[in-house]
Chain A
Amino acid sequence: MTVPDATGPAARPRPTPLRAVHERLGAVMTGFAGWLMPLRYRSETAEHQAVRTAAGLFDLSHMGEITVTGPGAAGALNYALTGQPSRLQPGRARYTMICAEDGGILDDLIVYRLAGEEFLVVANAANTGVVAAALAERAAGSGARVTDRTADYALIAIQGPRAARILAGLTTASLDDLRYYASARAAVAGRDVLLARTGYTGEDGFELFTSPGDAEHVWTELSGAGRGDGLVPAGLAARDTLRLEAGMPLYGNELSRDVTPFEAGLGRVVKLGKPGGFVGQAALASRAETGPVKVLTGLAMDTRRVPRHGYPVLWDGSRCGTVTSGAPSPTLRMPIAMAYLEPETAKLAAGDAETRLAVDIRGRAEPARLVDLPFYHRAS
């Protein structure tokens, strides 16, 4: 058999401030977007289950942090992004996108409004440079200042139904008052952090932006506080299956320069009516009018063979789309996938009682069922 290269092709990936912690925990490390990241610590399936039933601790320090500050910041972001950050209250955050002039997605982002004239834009690791450059270019002349501050932050996430009660013991912040997609400056384990109630797992949870020097202390304290509650460290492998079950897109898989937010089923992030215009507006308005050229759908398999990124999707034996992400779902106990289908086929397949839909898994057509996204919805 051939085994995956444990550290990936990237030469000398950049370690995070938590590298020593991962080494002590015996993590399997992998190169990801130029960073040396924990892929898993023990069993990725057990890590996944822990996040669904208890809590998991993630090192996400590879994510990009870009600040946009100054009197022109809100206006510059309205122009640069598909959303309308000027409408955010300080202390609130929004999922949004940055598109090219032709409407193609450059990245998906979370924008936090930290104060009236201070925004934090969190970008995917692989796209941080592109996003920072695009923001700087689009903010030119606005008076806003764009700074890539990725090196100034570590990012730790604690996710899962027990995340709040574990964190509550270490902070004076009132977590009940910190709503989903809100953020606040807070002390956690005696260190100043930006505490946000956001995540990428489909569970309740928090993301803690710390200084690199505080990261190990905060990680260790959280880890200790959560021991009795079943908190475990969780790697990128678990993060990927968690977000897939939750129907959350991943840049490079579901999202790319080749699609607009409408193909991804995320037209809601495009605020066509906002005042002042924005980059990609004409192309996106036109796509909103004509409808998406392909549709992101959920697939569930009855076989145990797993659809993977790039596998063809078939309708009556003919190619009708492509798998963007696929994995064995630990929660549903079957292989699941997201795939782009031709809009016509997606409509037919939605009403199809027979199994005319299939995924070509390494040369053999395996029956697939169209299912609603997300695959998993947390209770409550």
Chain B
Amino acid sequence: MTVPEELRYTPEHEWVAFDGLTASVGITDYAQNALGDVVYVSVPGPGTRVTAGEPCGEVESTKSVSDIYSPVDGEVAEVNGEIEDDPALVNSDPYGAGWLMKVRLDNDGSEPEGLLTADEYSQLTAEADAGAE
């Protein structure tokens, strides 16, 4: 399982990459592996307000459907149109071509509190796996 060092994470398995006043959001490698084949992703259209910790979309896989929680406060600036046609990108490249949306941040671009570092997120998933054994 990959957990890129430079990203930040939510306990609900979203990743976020900050770039100035914009943040890119997706789901983690751990999440896509747990879900199985992703068949459909619904994210809010450009202009929609999203709130940190609130559900803003859903991921459908063969076996289940899961809410996507926004890691940040802001307004959706762009959604990844590629995954409309090819949702499997979320499985094959969760941190790259499988990104979900870009959010224009409400604040000055500083990281909101409560997000996890790569180390913290790795520890969380390791504990989840150990608990499931």
Contacts and interface: CB of A to CB of B under 8 A. Distances in A.
Interface in A110-144: none
Given A304-B40, A328-B40, A28 B35 contact: no
Of A8, A237, A306, A362, most B-chain CB atoms within 10 Å: A306
Contacts of A2: 12-13, 66-67
A6 B60 contact: no
B72 to A, nearest CB: 15
5 A-B pairs with least C-beta separation:
A3-B34, A304-B40, A7-B132, A1-B66, A328-B39
Interface of A: 1-8, 28, 39-40, 43-45, 237, 240-241, 304-306, 308, 327-328, 362
B62 A45 contact: yes
A301 to B, nearest CB: 11
Contacts of B18: none
B64 to A, nearest CB: 5
A363 to B, nearest CB: 11
Contacts of B58: 362
B60 A4 contact: no
22 contacts: A1-B13, A1-B27, A1-B66, A1-B68, A4-B63, A4-B64, A4-B66, A6-B129, A7-B132, A28-B36, A39-B63, A43-B36, A43-B37, A43-B91, A44-B36, A44-B62, A45-B62, A304-B40, A305-B60, A328-B40, A328-B62, A362-B58
B132 A1 contact: no
A4 B62 CA distance: 12
A3 B62 contact: no
B33 interface: yes
B75 interface: no
B69 interface: yes
A1 B31 contact: yes
Contacts of B12: 1-2
B133 interface: yes
B23 interface: no
Contacts, number: 73
A306 B132 contact: no
Size range of the chain B interface in the assembly: 20 to 34
A308 B64 CA distance: 8
B62 A1 contact: no
B39 A4 contact: no
Interface in B15-48: 27, 30-31, 33-37, 39-40, 42
Contacts of A240: 63
A6 B129 CA distance: 8
A39 B59 CA distance: 19
B39 A3 contact: no
A28 B30 CA distance: 12
A43 B61 CA distance: 11
Given A5-B132, A328-B39, 14 more contacts: A1-B31, A1-B69, A2-B67, A3-B35, A5-B128, A6-B129, A39-B36, A305-B42, A306-B40, A308-B64, A327-B62, A328-B40, A328-B60, A362-B65
Nearest to B37: A45
A327 B37 CA distance: 12
B12 to A, nearest CB: 5
A241 B62 contact: yes
A56 to B, nearest CB: 15
Contacts of A362: 58, 65
Given A1-B27, A305-B40, A328-B40, A6 B34 contact: yes
Nearest to A328: B39
Nearest to B30: A3
Given A3-B13, A3-B30, A6-B129, A306 B35 contact: no
Contacts of B68: 1
A167 B39 CA distance: 33
Nearest to B12: A1
Contacts of A44: 36-37, 62-63
Interface string B50-81: 00000000111011111111000000000000
Nearest to A31: B132
